[in-house]
A and B are shown apart, each in its own frame.
Chain A
């Protein structure tokens, strides 16, 4: 199963692996404002109704976006494996 930014709980950190290109304009917008592959993302705040919108910490910046748009940010699916 694909894990998305919207699947993270408050203060839970994930790593971006890819962008959902269904809406190519959206993924450009997300990249321009500062989301990129390899970045760690942590949701910090949620709005009152339906946890919408959400604010996400990425590389020291705080970016607010709606869940609909956050849905296009794909994360590493399994929690970081411990290397033996």
Chain B
């Protein structure tokens, strides 16, 4: 099978073209948003010939300054484990940026592979007053050049027809390997500039569309206010928009429980299905609408071109703690999950900065912690409005800010001790604004939702069954403390009692090592075993069984949540050492313990109950 690699600068539309050609069906899993690994998909030409396509992280030149760039270059050179080199390169370029980036394609010719230049977003270039003479360009560069609008069907068919003519015969005619040109970057740039001066004409417009928006978005003061408003609206929306969908899921779950209880014979099996499986998995699945809304925002910010602007805006603040604006994207992704966040830290060039970012990423409130916040806030914070705002949303936003504050504080401490040294620069291109492609957007959202649902199946289901088992045996146990779970929980309870945690919490924290939201499903199982009426919601059970200081301490614990083995596994993988994951666990545990303890005793002293 012919194998093509998509190469090009970040944000030039490689993933869009990949989705348009392959239907978004990628073999190698990647987290949506920033491509830090490669994706592999297949499509067929009109003749039926099958082609394999690699979607690679964005890269400007051929030096590989950061880890994600090295992945892209290794893929093209065939140095990636288990992957052969591609047969040809589809070099993508944002047509409006041809003057800036043309030397990148000249550099790419040095890979010694047949190469086609795909000029994407020709419509936007025309809007910006840029006209490109494709024939002249082909003649000057000596490789085939095609124009395309990746997001439209017409762009796709044009490219397919071209590949059809070009054929699988990569040694044929224009597809022949170009001669590597061993000239230095400075001369390549000079050549590129002379080519564009002949082949590209540009009507200087007073101000482009993007520029007019940027006057506000990148304003040193209003820009930061706007960013804050966007994040605030995002977290409010997560609460206020998700209500109806969550009610629907909750009703479905309790119907399912009643149905199962009616069909199944009385006894252990019923208890396993109703209290173990349905209660456990259901308690987490109920948060799917909130997760979807959160990602709807993150993906929108990413696809519209705003994310890079956010990096620009916060860079000035990040510089204060010794980090750089590029860390904003990994950190924002970490609000969804620390794993893709930690992986996308690969875009940070300086190793020290990358390490600092990795270490503080778990302090961002990941989606797995949302169910815990939702549960406790739902149980103890009234669903009232403060002016136009949801009070529960405000509390959640506050908890998130506490996480961010500690992340920045820890970064400042690490930069002065462990990861001392000069910080790397920002150097990031701010792409033109574009309306997100609906299809790519839905694919991203779908992938995200499925990752969450799959976790419910792979991690939460077995964990719920385990907890149910530990809670149900020995069968003669009359109190939680007498069960196996109670015995295990009893071992760590003495450590946790000073910070206000009860036995049920101690039990729920152990399986929550697998995934933080398992704390919720475990509590659901623990409390539903003792509960006769399945219609009582978990929030009501928690509200009835916990004191307010305990609930607040539990929330404070989860701001830091030294849990989630997958996070430590990915830190181990990305830092290639045991030292850093162990260190991260240690410092997060200490922070969580003291935060919960201080919260508990302060609340007690204030007379809250």
Taking beta carbons and an 8 Å cutoff, which residues of A are in contact with B?
A: 25-26, 28-34, 36-39, 44-50, 52-53, 55, 57-66, 68-69
For residue B198, CB closer than 8 A to chain A, the reply is no
Chain A neighbourhood of B128, CB < 8 A: 60
| A–B Cβ pairs within 8 angstroms, 10 of them | A30-B427, A32-B63, A34-B429, A50-B316, A53-B312, A53-B325, A59-B99, A61-B101, A64-B325, A66-B427
B319 in contact (CB, < 8 A): yes
Q: B428 near A: Cβ within 8 Å? A: yes
In the complex, chain A residues whose CB is within 8 Å of the CB of B107? 32
A69 to B218, CA, bound (A): 19
A52-B319 in contact given A28-B63, A37-B190, A44-B211 (Cβ < 8 Å): yes
How far is it, in angstroms, between the C-alpha of A58 and the C-alpha of B315 when the chains are bound? 20
Expressed in whole angstroms, the Cα–Cα distance for A49 and B221 within the complex equals: 10
Contact of B220 among A26, A32, A48 (CB under 8 A): A48
Q: Which of A33, A36, A53 has the most CB of B within 10 A?
A: A53
Residue of B nearest to A30 (CB): B427
Interface status of B404 (Cβ within 8 A of chain A): no
**Which chain B residues lie closer than 8 Å to A47 at the CB level?**
220, 312-313, 315-316
Q: Which of B104, B219, B430 makes the CB contact (< 8 A) with A64?
A: B430
Classify chain B: how many residues form its interface, as a range.
35 or more
Check B319 against A55 for contact (C-beta < 8 Å).
Answer: no
Nearest CB of A to B61, in Å: 3
B349 to chain A, nearest CB (A): 8
Contact between chains at B425 and A69 (CB < 8 Å): yes
Give min CB distance, B463 to chain A, whole Å: 44
Chain B residues engaging chain A, CB cutoff 8 angstroms:
60-61, 63, 65, 96-97, 99-101, 103-104, 107, 128, 130, 185-186, 189-190, 192-193, 202, 210-211, 214, 218-221, 224, 308, 311-313, 315-317, 319-320, 324-325, 425-430
Q: A28-B61, A69-B425 are in contact. Are A45 and B220 (CB under 8 A)?
A: yes
- Are A36 and B218 neighbours in the complex by a CB distance under 8 Å? no
- Secondary structure type dominating chain B contacts: helix
Question: Quick one: which of A34, A49, A58 contacts B316, CB cutoff 8 A?
Answer: A49
Given contacts A34-B97, A59-B99, contact A45 B425 (CB under 8 A): no
Contact present for B186 and A31 (CB under 8 Å): yes
Q: How many whole Å from B143's CB to the nearest CB in chain A?
A: 19
Query: How many whole Å from A43's CB to the nearest CB in chain B?
Result: 11
- Report how far A70 CA is from B313 CA in the complex, Å: 17
CB pair A66–B319 under 8 Å, yes or no, is yes
Contact pick for B425, options A26, A38, A44, A61, CB 8 Å: A26
- B194 → A minimal CB distance (Å): 10
Interface centre among A38, A62, A65 (most CB of B within 10 A): A62
Chain B residues lying within 8 Å of A62, measured Cβ to Cβ, are: 210-211, 214, 429-430
B residues near A52, Cβ cutoff 8 Å: 315-316, 319
Residues of A within 8 A of B320 (CB): 49
Chain A positions within 8 Å of B224 at CB level:
48
Residues of A within 8 A of B426 (CB): 53, 64-66, 69
Find out whether the CB atom of B425 lies under 8 angstroms from the CB atom of A34.
Answer: no
By a CB distance below 8 angstroms, the chain B residues around A38 are 190, 193
